[in-house]
Amino acid sequence: MQLKPLAFSLLLSVFSLTPVPETLAAENIEPALNADEIELSQWLDSQEDNMVEMIERITNINSGSLNKAGVNAMADIFSRELRQLGFSVSTLPGDFIEMPSCPGSNYNIDVADHVLASRAGSGTRLLLMGHLDTVFPSDSPFQTFRREGDMMYGPGVSDMKGGLVVMLYALKALNEFGFLQDKAITLLLNSDEEIGSLSSRKYLEQQALLHDYGLVYEPGSSLIRQRKGLGQARFVVRGKASHAGAAHEQGRSAIKELAYKIVEIERMTDYESGVTVNVGIINGGEARNTISPCAEALIDLRYPEPQQGLDAIAQFEDIFASVYSYAVDSGELTTESWTNLHRPAKIPTPESDYLLEKTLSISKLLGQSIGVGDSGGGTDGSLTQAVGLPTLDSLGGSGSGTHSNREQGQISSLVERAKLSAVLIHRLAVE
């Protein structure tokens, strides 16, 4: 693998979200498309209907992160397809992750197995990443695929069933012309990306160390250069139940304490430094006339710099350890918590900028106009880049409304992005 660090990388500040350098892909660093690549591109032009048929089929399978049967059905489809392309396919065991919870609620996470597929080869080692799960649970009202002209609608059409099909068809194109021979390509398809890759993180990090470049098939109208880090925290406040009329003073309200803690936690948001905190879910109480014995919350954290993530977790811990709601701490209010910085901030490196610039140059050769942006959202690419694998994100199709029942994707972008990936993989794998 030969790296070509770019001059502009010297200008980058390492720890803050920096504007995209204007020099990025100002000049085309890539040679023109050769006859093989034109063939790849033409073959993919003929595949739009097949790609849409596959997206329709897999969008109609609910694969919410906690729907193990649905995620497994997705894993079976992709395992079969990849075996047909000559990959050896195995599964990596999921995990059972216990979470603190109030009685009657269950936030434990039972993660389905992940798929690892690989082809042996002698060139540059590529790790392709995608997730089989979506954010839509099996009882979501948003379950089916619908097409209108060049747009498609449905759970995961963009994030990222569309991306998985882009990845698969890029590989199918390469295979069609024998270009997968002797190429060292690994795919890791995980089942828990939408809940923070809590089980698959270790596998992603292990694989990152065994490869030269990482490609992630999240959706994106632009290629994403830099991302904020993500964290999450769950906490459960336990108090003392009592009759709200007959013995109010004997109770210790977990809901009251939770409310005070939430105010403290929400105060941590600081748009100037880029740190944001969101209490996304709360739950608690037993009855209108019972002082609540238990209440719980789930918090989302975003941060541009690694240290800010660590500082925020320390602040959470202080808030969890304090009692705000009663003048005298009787020891009857306790808090149990779980915190996790599940996505490091994605900081560009000269190697990841090289990969980005190469991809932008190829997109121009293909007559495409793809931009570059930054994002407050994290992906598995943040995990692999953090352990040293230069990783390019957002190679899936373009779309919008992800994580909502307005999710949509642009059909023509699927073939475009598959062409981009096919040529990119073709060129990277022989460096």
Q: How far is CA 279 from the centre of its chain?
A: 20
Question: Nearer to Zn ion by C-beta: 82 or 160?
Answer: 160
Residues 402, 158 contacting (CB under 8 angstroms):
yes
Q: How far is the CB of 160 from Zn ion (least distance, A)?
A: 4
Q: How far is the CB of 289 from Zn ion (least distance, A)?
A: 44
d(C-alpha 164, C-alpha 41), whole Å: 18
User: Among 303, 257, 299, 302, which Cα is nearest to 278's?
Assistant: 299
Which tokens belong to 85?
Answer: 């392309």
Question: Nearer to Zn ion by C-beta: 160 or 422?
Answer: 160
Q: How far is the CB of 337 from Zn ion (least distance, A)?
A: 27
Question: Nearer to Zn ion by C-beta: 116 or 395?
Answer: 395
Question: Nearer to Zn ion by C-beta: 67 or 292?
Answer: 67
Q: How far is the CB of 269 from Zn ion (least distance, A)?
A: 24
d(C-alpha 37, C-alpha 426), whole Å: 8
Residue nearest to Zn ion (CB): 159
Please give the residue ranges that form the binding site for Zn ion (CB under 5 A): 159-160, 218
Question: Nearer to Zn ion by C-beta: 158 or 352?
Answer: 158
Residues 109, 245 contacting (CB under 8 angstroms):
no
Q: How far is the CB of 106 from Zn ion (least distance, A)?
A: 25
What is residue 344's DSSP assignment?
Answer: -
Number of H helices, E strands in the chain: 10, 20
d(C-alpha 389, C-alpha 381), whole Å: 9
Q: How far is the CB of 348 from Zn ion (least distance, A)?
A: 20
Residues 208, 149 contacting (CB under 8 angstroms):
no
Q: How far is the CB of 192 from Zn ion (least distance, A)?
A: 11
Question: Nearer to Zn ion by C-beta: 30 or 218?
Answer: 218
Question: Nearer to Zn ion by C-beta: 159 or 257?
Answer: 159
Question: Nearer to Zn ion by C-beta: 386 or 395?
Answer: 395
CA–CA distance from 277 to each of 42, 161, 266, 312 (Å)? 47, 29, 6, 9
Which tokens belong to 261?
Answer: 């803690």
- Amino acid found at 98: E
Nearby residues of 3 by Cβ (< 8 Å), 6 or more positions away: 350, 351, 354
Torsional sign, CA 397, 398, 403, 404:
negative
Q: What are phi and psi of 239, to 5 degrees?
A: -120, -145
Q: How far is the CB of 98 from Zn ion (least distance, A)?
A: 25
Residues 121, 137 contacting (CB under 8 angstroms):
no
d(C-alpha 331, C-alpha 87), whole Å: 58
Question: Nearer to Zn ion by C-beta: 145 or 217?
Answer: 217
User: Among 251, 279, 259, 247, which Cα is nearest to 323's?
Assistant: 259
Q: How far is the CB of 262 from Zn ion (least distance, A)?
A: 28
Question: Nearer to Zn ion by C-beta: 113 or 159?
Answer: 159
Q: How far is the CB of 3 from Zn ion (least distance, A)?
A: 28
User: Among 318, 323, 241, 234, which Cα is nearest to 283's?
Assistant: 234
User: Among 331, 332, 115, 265, which Cα is nearest to 203's?
Assistant: 115
